[in-house]
Amino acid sequence: MEGWLSLCLMALAMLMALCFLRLSGYKNNPKKRLPPGPWTLPIIGSLHHLIGALPHRTLTALSRRHGPLMLLRLGEVQTVVVSSAEAVALVMKTNDLTFSSRPSIPTMDILTCGGKGFAFAPYGDHWRQMRKVCIVELLSSKQVKRMEGIRAELVGGLIRHITHTAASATGGAAGGAIINVSEKVTRLSNDVVSRAVLGGKFAQQGEYIRTLYDALALLGGFHLIDFFPSWRLVRWLSNEERNMKKRYGRVQHIIADIVEARREATKAAGGGGGASCGSTNDDDMLDVLLRLQQEDTLSFPLTSEIIGAVLFDILGAATETTGILLVWAMSELARHPEAMAKAQLEVRKVLGEDHRAVITNSDLAELHYVRMVIKEVLRDPEHWENPERFRPERFENSKMDYTGTYSEFTPFGTGRRQCPGIQFSSSLAELALANFLYHFDWMLPDGETPASFDMSEKFTFTVSRRYDLHLRAIPHVCLKSMPSK
């Protein structure tokens, strides 16, 4: 509603905008070799093509019409859409240094504190040092392995909770219970990330998740102040900027409370208000950042503002993305019973009949089909045969992994700005999915069929389900023999 109101207000300001463009000398430069793109309108450019709830679908359709390199004129901002494996390789590998920075976008600047974290920071020394700290202290193979016990503990807690819920339901465990899978995996992801970053759960966790999701939803929307950054009139007429600052202020207030509580606890323990001198294997990310702040060894002052921005980047990125991946994987398996049965058979054959409390990371190496399921959820439909068909078998004997080596499969990006949390995210996704498949039989809610099951999506910072995923979970009491196909 607010987006339409803003467009109406902008239309009322059309004459003033035309005067501005004339005074600013705005014109197309005929000497520039620009990619093709859809037809444009005065002032708004290509924005009218993106009106709708699912702009990523619109971009896909436009790219098929105009080619793998497509120019969109979004108000004042010229944007090139890259949508083929070859073009991705050209941009993110061959010329990755040229495209390795991040532009200044008003809403992004508000929600990332001007890029003072690392995910949206401009390319340079600040970005390199903060990224290195996050990789070495949190996201490296060594650190991901160190957290195996934590992941197993938290996944095990969720399995016990779902089992208890099913056993307490009307009809008992045999009938199972309807579980809000979206809610459970979001909380699981946040619990794991919070343990790694903050040392555990915190009092304001529920409020933080809600506020974080509100902020990310705003970040993923279309905002006129981003398309007309030099127009003071747009800023004055719209309350987008105020909403952004309010959400980000609340998120940072919660983080500031956590940081201050840690400082007080460290001081009470005799640490002098910073983290204890020297690193230990038990340090979480906040300990590391406070220690670096105290040691002052970086090439720039590690201010509390930067610490807050880094924590926001990590908590925001890791919580939402891993949770959404698990939700889509369970959604696809629920509406493809053959794939569900095949995945469960693999897990239960590999692990035997000991009905252990929780699967561990050491068990995952043999779960090839489970990995294929996750890859099938993450793949780009443009580069595969029968792209709309869910068929994990297409990755059988495939060398493609998450590292971005193959331009046809880059779910975590590639090049200098590739997501550094590949192992952190994939290890949790594989562990959680394997445990779900081992411990429960999953069914669609009563009255739902694979054909009628709602798979509609919504577009925010990521692409998630429009509605939460609800499935019936029935505890798996004994191994059931499944006929071979």
Among residues 122, 118, 158, 156, the alpha carbon closest in space to that of 138 is found at 118
Percentage of the chain modeled with pLDDT above 90: 49
DSSP letter, residue 148: H
Place of tokens 């640490």: 271
Higher pLDDT pick, 396 / 266 = 396
Query: Residue written as tokens 């307490």?
Result: 168
Res 278 pLDDT > 70: no
Residue 55 domain flag: no
DSSP state of 92: I
Give the structural domain span for 225. 128-475
Here the CATH number for the domain that contains residue 137 is 1.10.630.10
Residue position matching structure tokens 């976008």:
105
Q: Is the pLDDT of residue 439 over 70?
A: yes
pLDDT above 50 (res 470): yes
Give the pLDDT confidence score for residue 280 in this predicted structure.
55
Whether pLDDT at 237 is above 90: no
- Rounded CA-CA distance 223/279 in Å is 43
pLDDT tens, position by position, 347-370? 999 887 666 667 878 889 899 999
Q: What is the pLDDT of residue 29?
A: 54
Taking the CA atoms of the chain, what radius of gyration do you get in angstroms? Answer: 24
Q: What is the mean pLDDT of residues 326-333?
A: 98
**SS3 per residue for 301-343:** CCCHHHHHHHHHHHHHHHHHHHHHHHHHHHHHHHCCHHHHHHH
Which residues partner with 443 through β-bridges?
472
Of residues 274 and 342, more confidently modeled: 342
CB distance 254 to 215 below 8 Å? no
Interval 260-281 mean pLDDT: 69
Cβ count within 10 A of residue 456: 9
The contacts of residue 108 (CB under 8 Å, 6+ apart) are: 102, 115, 120, 219, 226
The mean of the pLDDT values for the chain is: 84
Q: What does DSSP say about strands 440-443 and 470-475: parallel, antiparallel, or unpaired?
A: antiparallel
Q: What percentage of the chain has pLDDT greater than the value 70?
A: 87
Please say whether the beta carbons of 395 and 369 come within 8 A: no
DSSP state of 121: P
- Find, among 56, 49, 119, the residue nearest to 320 by Cα: 119
pLDDT band of residue 257 (cuts 50, 70, 90) is: confident
Confidence tier at 482 by pLDDT (50, 70, 90):
very low
23 part of a folded domain: no
Residue-wise pLDDT tens digits, 297-323: 999 999 989 998 998 889 888 878 899
pLDDT digits (tens, 9 = 90+) for 26-74: 445 555 789 999 999 999 999 999 988 788 899 999 999 999 999 999 9
- Which segment of 124-128, 251-255, 374-378 scores lowest on mean pLDDT? 251-255
- Annotated binding-site members for heme: 419
Which range in 4-18, 19-33, 215-229, 327-341 is most confidently predicted, on average pLDDT?
327-341
pLDDT at 1: 41
43 backbone dihedrals φ, ψ, rounded to 5°: 70, -60
Residue 441, strand partner residues: 474
Measured from the Cβ of residue 467, the count of other Cβ atoms closer than 10 Å reads 12
Helices 181-198 & 148-168 angle (0-180, nearest 10): 150
pLDDT band for 141, please (50, 70, 90 cuts): very high
3-class DSSP state for residue 79? strand
Which residue type does 362 have?
S
What's the pLDDT at 480?
Answer: 41
Q: How many domains does the chain have?
A: 1
CA dist., res. 62 & res. 276, Å (int)? 55
Q: Is 111 exposed, middle or buried, given 0-12, 13-18 or 19+ CB atoms closer than 10 A?
A: buried
